[in-house]
Structure 1
C-alpha cells in the first residue's frame, strides 16, 4: 500500500528533523523544504496528502503558501505552524483556507492528532473532485449556495459562525458541517448558551473537581471536554455572559481547558461552531460582546436564509414535513388543497421553517377527510407597527411557535373542561379525530 505523502516547510533544520521523524513514525513519506520557492517546486512536481508549513520563511511566509495551494493544489490540506500566542496570524491562515494550525513549542501529541485529522480529510475527499452531497431540503439558489458553503467549511477546522433568524435551521446547518467533516465519527455536542443559568455556566462548560465548591460531590466533565474529537456547537452565543466570553476566548486560543478547582489546564481537540439570531457586530458595538472573541469565532461566517427568501422551496418542505408527521398521527393520506398551498407560498413566515412545522402539525390534527385547507392552517396576520389586533395573544419578543402552542393548548383545555374531560366529545367539539386529540394532548403536555 502506498504511504501518504507529506510536505514539511520550515527554515529551521531542527524543526524539520523533528517533524520528519514524527511523521515517518506515523508511516508517512516525508519531503522537506526550507524555502517558499522549494516548497512550490515540490508541489508542482507531485501530489501530497498534506502540507505542514511554518509562517516565517526566508523568501516569504506561510500565508503565501496557503494562498498558492488554494489556487493550484486545492485538494492538498495545509496546516500552519505559528509562534506561541500569535492567534491573529492563525486566524488569517484559516480565513485563507488552511485546514488547522499548531503553535510552537510543538506538542507532539497535538501534532499527531492534527496529522491524523488531516489525512482523514484526504481519505474522505471524493475522487472526482466534487464536493460531498449535503442533505438539505430545497432547490432554490439560496439553498444551493448554502450547501456549497457547508461542503467547503467542512474541509476546515476553522471556527464557523452561523447566523440567521429564529427557526431557520442553524443547528441543522451546524450538524451538517460536523457530519460532512473529518470529525463526523466524534461527538456533536450542542449547547444553548441562553438556557444555562449564569452561576452554573462555568461548571457546565468547563467541568469541576470534587470539593471545588459547595455541592461539587464528585468530579464532573464539562461540555467542552465531552466534545473531545468532535464538534462543540454554541447556540445563541450572544447570550454568553462577558466573564464567560473571556474564558471561552482562552479555550479557542490555547486549545486548553481548566475545570473549576483544577490547578492545571487540559489539552482539548474540539472544533467550535456557534450561532445566534442576533446581530453580533451590533452586540460588539454596544459593548455586550467582546470584539476579540467575535473575530475568533467568526473566522468563517454562514448566513442561513429566512423562508420568505426561498418561497420556491415551500412545497418540498411541506411534503417532507407531512411525510414525517403521517406515522405519528396515523394518517398516510394527508395532503394540502391547492388553496392551502397558495396560502403557504404567500405567507410571510416570521417563524421560518420551525413555524411551518408547527402550522402543519396543528393543521394535520384539525383537518377533515385528510385534506388540509386554508382554514386548518390558522395562519397569523402580518403585524405592522399600527396593527395591534393580536397583541393580546402574542407578546412583543415572544417566540411565535411558543405563542401558537399556548393558544392551541388553551383551546384543548377549554374543550376538555366543557365536555367534563370526555376526550371523544372534546375531539368532536374541536373538529378532529380522537386519535389526533390524544396525540396533541401528549405533544403539548396536557395532563
Structure 2
C-alpha cells in the first residue's frame, strides 16, 4: 500500500522543513508550500490524503485559502489548521468552513502525529462517490416510471430521503440518481462506512471515532448529500445512539450550516424498526423501490444496459443476449433482485463463447426449476389476493413466458402452440412487456 501523502503549507521555511522531517520519519510522503499559490499548484499536481495549513501567512492567509478550496471543491481530504496566535473565534471559523481540526504552535510531535492519524482514520470512513457513476435506474414499466417521477420531484426539494425496498433492489442507486438530478450534482455524494457499527462489542473509542467521522463527512459533503446506508443491520441499541447523534446534529443545525441533504436506506421488512424515529428527526421523503419480480417487463432493457455497462466500463467481453435467453431470464423469480441479475449477467459474459448468450447458457447458470417451486407457489398465493383482471394478466404473462421459452423465442411457433392468431399474439406480448423474435 503506498504511503499516505501530506501537504504542509507554512510561510516559514524552518517549520516546513521540521514538520516534513517528522512526518517523513513516520512513513508519510510529504510536500511543502510556502505560499497559497504554491499550495494550489501542489494540489493541482498531486492527490493528498491530508493538508496542514498555517492560518497566518503574508498575502493570502490560510482561512482565505481554506474557503477557496471548499467553495471550488478542489480538495477532498481533511485539512488541519495551524497557528501560533490561535483564538477560539479563529478555530470556530476554520471549523465552520470545513477544517477537520486546529493545532497550536509551537507544535508538539505527539499532538501533531495524533491529530493527523485521527484525521486519516476518519477520512477512511467516508467514501465520496464519483457523480459520473455508471449505475442508474433503468426501466419503462409503469412501476419504474412512477418511481422515476417521484425521484424527479424529490430532486427539486431539499427534503431528506430514505429508500425502502428488498435487498438488492438498488436503493442506493436511486439515492445517487436523485443527487445527480438535483442542484447538488456537482458536490459530493458521501457514503458512510457503517461496518464499524456492526460489531457486537463496540467500545466507546470506536463509537467516538464513528461520531467524529460522521461530523467530518458532513463538512466534506458541503452542498451535497451524505448517505447512511442499511442502518437496519445495526443492533437496536446502537440504532438509538445513531438517532440521538442525528438529533444533536439537527439541533446544532449542522445539516443547514453545510447545506447537506441526509439520506438512508432500509430493507422493507425492517422499516418499522427505525423509520418512525427518523421521521421525528427529519422531514423525510420515503421512496419505495420495487422488487424486480414486480416489473419483470424491464428485464430485457436492464439486461442490455448491464451488458453495455460491464463491457464498456469493467472490461467484460461483449455478448448479445438472444430473445430466448431474455425470456428465460424473464421467467425467473429473482429473489436477489437487480443485484442477482448483475451477478448472473457477469457470469454469462464470462462463460459465453459464441458471441451471443443462448437460452442454454442461461439454463446452465440459473438455479434449477425445482429451486423456484417455493417462489412459484408464493406467486400463486399472491395471485389469489388480486382483482380478477390483474390476476388474469399475471397468469397470461407467466403462461406466455413459459411457452415462449419452449419454442426458443419464435412467435410463429408460439402462435401454433397456444392457438392464437399471430397479429393478436404480437399485441398481447407487447402489452405484457414480453420480448420475442419478429422473424418466423
TM-score (norm: length of structure 2): 0.47
TM-score (norm: length of structure 1): 0.46
